[in-house]
Amino acid sequence: MGVARYWREIPQRYNLIGTKCSVCGTIYFPPRAICPNCRRKSAGKMEDYKLKGTGTVESFTIIRVPPPEFEGKSPYAIALIKMDEGCHLTGQIVDCNLEDIHIGMKVEACFRRIQEDGKRGAIYYGYKFRKAKE
Amino acid sequence: MASIVGYGAYVPRYRIKVEEIAKIWGKEAASISSGLYVFEKSVPGMDEDTATISVEAARRAVKSAGIDPKGIEAIYVGSESHPYAVKPTATIVAEAIEATPVLTAADYEFACKAGTAGLQNCIALVDSNMIQYGMAIGTDVSQAAPGDALEYTAAAGGAAFIVGKEGIATINDTVSFTTDTPDFWRREGSPYPGHGGRFTGEPAYFKHITNAAKMLMERCGTKPSDYDYAVFHQPNGKFPSRVAKMLGFEKEQIKDSLLCPWIGNTYSGSSMVGLAAVMDVAQPDQRIIVVSYGSGAGSDAFDITVTDKIEGIQRQGIREMLEDKEYVDYGTYMKLRGEFT
Amino acid sequence: MRDVAIIGIGMTEFGELWEKSFRELVAEAGVRAIMDAGIEGEEIDAMYIGGMSSGMFVGQEHVGPLAVEVAGLEDLHIPATRVEGACASGGIALHQGYISVASGMYDIVVVGGAEKMTDVAGGSATNILASASDREWEAFFGATFPGLYALMATYHMHKYGTTPEQLASVAVKNHYNGSTNPKAQFKRKITVEDVLKSPLVADPLHLLDCSPVSDGAAAAILAPVEVAKKYTDKLVRIKASAMACDTLSLHGRERFDALPAAIHAAKKAYEKAGVGPKDIDLAEVHDCFTIAEIIAIEDLGFVERGRGGPATEEGITSLHGEIPVNTSGGLKSKGHPVGATGIAQLNEIVLQLRGEAGERQVKDAQIGLTHNVGGSGGTAVVNIMEVI
């Protein structure tokens, strides 16, 4: 992934900035240009919206055969998370025993290192999730 | 002078015990622990580094201050383990707390006092009305060569302080004592530091802290008993007690800031995380002296008075945060430190 | 719209074919199909070749003219193009070929699919396959392709009580079927225990729950029914060809225990064909992972929603069961050269409907179905064929 490609999405990767359809109020993450409910009525009417960062685990898995960018970092957990705002996203769950992860677990976003472009390239930061504080 | 408006700290949750490290090198854990007064140290997760820890601390500081991050017009991150040699950590933090784009930012390096150097800069910028709020962060994910004495204490953690005109604690004065003393260093491109062994004591740590502390108390017309809390740089659990005694402070005065025995030396984070732990318990009108130390060498000393505004903020609960921990063995420790990849 | 028939089929064997290059695979499958159809080559009006990523696997785009050149048809200047829909590329090639003949635009059309996956290192293959998922919002964070299907498996197990043994029974059945298929990559039979003992790839999926990395190509020749009669009396007609898409990302879907694109494509196909699930005699479904087959047989209406696991365990989809699924061995045992799969599935159904499937022949096979999926369900193509 080139640096421009990563940089472009920093608001999403660092701060979970999605979009809200100002016509029907639905919140989307990642951002959308058009609302699937409102279609052309929503063109130009999608506003930036920052997610709270909290959500619930809808499903999860433990990756044991990682892709090349994640060599040496497995096993790690990937989860399908339903954010409190209603939209879903995919992310890693960290800072807990892999066996303790369960469907229904409450999680909150945290800022972590995701990937690096080798030893000489850029470092890509973004969101991962950890168990939510009570 | 300026005031502290908000603060935050973060220490990764993994720990490795002194005995776990000693076991690998065939050393006597008990004598190491009693010699250093350190029992365990913090270890960063594989996906944590100075940038991620700084962001955690910074976000907590912004929340505690209750301010609009756009008002933060200067951010300085001090560390000796910045993720990049060239490309600032400060801008990553700035973006992550949504303070961009109207601000000045830079990274600092001065071994373990890089964070407090940034704090002095923020005080000056606020005092001179150049900025509304400034943020100074001290964070490290310190490196130590496997088998070296520093391996027992080189730890990870960081704290962020937001400075403004009025706040929860007034910074009455600050003064620094600086010389060129090569007690501890790390060469460009080298993964691990070098140090002068016992030379890091008397001519380095003790000389600079005692001089800076005395200079500050002379300027402020104070003596040790005027302070409720004393925060000194914590390379191990013993040095802060020794320097406290040398200066005439009591054990009582340093106990709230002394975290090293349980988290190790967080380097640029050390005095600032210590100060954060004090801010968690300090009451209005109480007085704090902070003296950091950075190898190379220098000490920044601060005289601080807590205001009644501290009762209005949510304390960070740092000691409580430190209770949520998970122990790892040496192999996992090496894996987390990225030593294998 | 004209009726379309398949007049010829052909495929290479699937496996790690070190001796064969990408273009050699394309040529071999094409030639076999032409021979089977009994045509010369001059009759061909167009070609649609399915391929997920010859660009990333062998650095080769512009596959249309490559196929024309290896087929020796450059002097006819026929139109040829690659179509792509990740693992559904082959099915889409069939769909596009079907549309071109049914509409009257072309008469004799070659549809094919090919993938050469072993010219790159294993890690690269994983990375390339990840481009079937959402690169920015899934792969970037470390979600692998097996990982995405594992998310569906965990969800399915939680919601319906599907067990790891039931997942394994899909692989066991398909290996059993593949053991009689000379083109299959893996011809050895396996047990449930073998599957559960194989290393975990992405919990709960073990290595033997996952289809392999393979090389291979397959082709078929389409013709309008009236013209087809000239070439063969064993006519197999395409009753319906339907395609549907959904979100690229798994997390964007309206549900995680099914593939809405497959449900929709199947519905359209059944409607067009005027048949229902009960009328299907056999099906080739997209078992890129065992959970995918379990979800497929539910999506296609062969079993009740949630019952895919127990149904497979009970043998409903076995070779001699109520509705044989993946008699070829499926992607699991036959192999999964990504772009070729959709056409390989067609090859099996045609073979079965013609009564030429030998040891793995399904008795009285009249109506067959192929189900080809792209990525984690972003694309689905369902085709229904019958003997006439």
Residue C24 makes CB contacts below 8 A (sequence gap 6+) with: C70
Residue C387: beta bridge partners?
A: C236
Closest CA–CA distance from residue C138 to any residue of chain A (Å): 6
**C288 classed as catalytic:** no
List of chain A residues whose C-beta atoms are within 8 Å of the C-beta of residue C146: 65
Q: What is the DSSP code (8-state) at residue C134?
A: -
Residue C41 — left, alpha, or beta (φ > 0 → left; ψ -120 to 50 → alpha)? left
C19-37 tens-digit pLDDT: 999 999 999 999 999 999 9
Q: Tokens for C99?
A: 């549309």
Report the distance separating Cα B11 and Cα B292, nearest Å.
19
Which homologous superfamily does the CATH classification assign to the domain defined by C133-211+239-333+351-387?
Thiolase/Chalcone synthase (3.40.47.10)
Report the distance separating Cα B80 and Cα C270, nearest Å.
66
C63-97 tens-digit pLDDT: 999 999 999 999 999 999 999 999 999 999 999 99
C278-329 tens-digit pLDDT: 999 999 999 999 999 999 999 999 999 999 999 999 999 999 999 999 999 9
Q: Tokens for B159?
A: 């704290």
Given pLDDT bands bounded at 50, 70 and 90, which one contains residue C122? confident
User: In this model, does residue C217 exceed pLDDT 90?
Assistant: yes
Report the distance separating Cα A78 and Cα C201, nearest Å.
13
**C95 classed as catalytic:** no
Q: What percent of chain C has pLDDT over 90?
A: 96
Residue B296 — left, alpha, or beta (φ > 0 → left; ψ -120 to 50 → alpha)? left
Report the distance separating Cα C326 and Cα C340, nearest Å.
15
| Residue B128 sits at the chain A interface (C-beta within 8 Å) | no
C159-212 tens-digit pLDDT: 999 999 999 999 999 999 999 999 999 999 999 999 999 999 999 999 999 999
Distance of CA B328 to the CA centre of its chain: 24
Q: Which fold has domain A52-131?
A: OB fold (Dihydrolipoamide Acetyltransferase, E2P) (2.40.50)
Q: Exposed, middle or buried by CB within 10 Å (0-12, 13-18, 19+), for B35? A: middle
Report the distance separating Cα C92 and Cα C76, nearest Å.
25
C357-387 tens-digit pLDDT: 999 999 999 999 999 999 999 999 999 999 9
The long-range contacts involving C185-194, CB below 8 angstroms and separated by at least 24 positions, are: C185/C13, C185/C14, C185/C15, C185/C16, C185/C212, C185/C214, C185/C216, C185/C333, C185/C334, C185/C335, C186/C212, C186/C329, C186/C332, C186/C333, C186/C335, C187/C333, C192/C165, C192/C168
Report the distance separating Cα B45 and Cα A112, nearest Å.
9
Alpha-carbon dihedral sign for residues A99, A100, A102, A108 = negative
The pLDDT assigned to B340 comes to 66
Indicate if B173-311 has the same CATH topology as B3-168.
yes
Where do the structural domains in chain B lie, given as residue ranges? 3-168, 173-311
Residue B56 makes CB contacts below 8 A (sequence gap 6+) with: A110, A111, B8, B10, B158
List of chain A residues whose C-beta atoms are within 8 Å of the C-beta of residue B45: 94-95, 112
Catalytic one of B112, B151, B195, B208? B112
| Residue A116 sits at the chain C interface (C-beta within 8 Å) | no
Chains A–C, number of C-beta pairs less than 8 Å apart: 100
Where do the structural domains in chain C lie, given as residue ranges? 4-121+214-228, 133-211+239-333+351-387
The secondary element (H helix, E strand) that includes residue A82 is strand A76-83
Report the distance separating Cα C372 and Cα A84, nearest Å.
34
Domain at C4-121+214-228, CATH from 1.10.3720.10, 3.40.50.11890, 3.40.190.10, 3.40.47.10: 3.40.47.10
Residue C343 makes CB contacts below 8 A (sequence gap 6+) with: C11, C29, C50, C90, C93, C94, C111, C112, C113, C218, C219, C220
List of chain A residues whose C-beta atoms are within 8 Å of the C-beta of residue C144: 63, 65-67
Phi then psi for C137, rounded to 5 degrees?
A: -115, -5
Alpha-carbon dihedral sign for residues C190, C191, C197, C200 = positive
Orientation angle between helical segments B207-220 and B239-247, nearest 10 degrees: 40
Locate the chain A residue with the closest alpha carbon to B83. A123
Catalytic one of C156, C264, C336, C371? C336
Is A115 in Cβ contact with C140 (below 8 Å)? yes
Task: Determine how β-strand B326-327 pairs with β-strand C4-11.
Answer: unpaired
Neighbours of A, requiring at least 3 CB pairs below 8 Å, are B, C
Which positions of chain A have pLDDT values less than 70? 1
Is A67 in Cβ contact with C142 (below 8 Å)? yes
Report the distance separating Cα B175 and Cα B220, nearest Å.
10
Question: Which residue type occupies C80?
Answer: A
| A110 contacts B56 by C-beta, under 8 angstroms | yes
The secondary element (H helix, E strand) that includes residue A110 is strand A106-116
Orientation angle between helical segments B270-279 and B114-127, nearest 10 degrees: 60
Q: Which residue has the tokens 């900025």?
A: B131
Report the distance separating Cα C159 and Cα A126, nearest Å.
31
Q: Which fold has domain B173-311?
A: Peroxisomal Thiolase; Chain A, domain 1 (3.40.47)
| Residue A92 sits at the chain C interface (C-beta within 8 Å) | yes
Reported CATH class of domain B3-168: alpha beta
Angle at the Cα of C185 from the Cα atoms of C356 and C309, rounded to 5 degrees:
85
User: In this model, does residue C102 exceed pLDDT 80?
Assistant: yes
Residue A25 — left, alpha, or beta (φ > 0 → left; ψ -120 to 50 → alpha)? left
User: In this model, does residue C51 exceed pLDDT 80?
Assistant: yes
Report the distance separating Cα C113 and Cα C93, nearest Å.
7
User: In this model, does residue C152 exceed pLDDT 80?
Assistant: yes
The pLDDT assigned to A133 comes to 85
C238-277 tens-digit pLDDT: 999 999 999 999 999 999 999 999 999 999 999 999 999 9
Length of chain B: 341
ipTM computed for the complex: 0.96
Q: Tokens for C294?
A: 């379990």
| B119 contacts B300 by C-beta, under 8 angstroms | yes
Is C250 in Cβ contact with A61 (below 8 Å)? no
pLDDT tens string for chain B (341 positions)? 799 999 999 999 999 999 999 999 999 999 999 999 999 999 999 999 999 999 999 999 999 999 999 999 999 999 999 999 999 999 999 999 999 999 999 999 999 999 999 999 999 999 999 999 999 999 999 888 899 989 999 999 999 999 999 999 999 999 999 999 999 999 988 888 888 989 999 999 999 999 999 999 999 999 999 999 999 999 999 999 999 999 999 999 999 999 999 999 999 999 999 999 999 999 999 999 999 999 999 999 999 999 999 999 989 999 999 999 999 999 999 999 886 66
Report the distance separating Cα C383 and Cα C240, nearest Å.
6
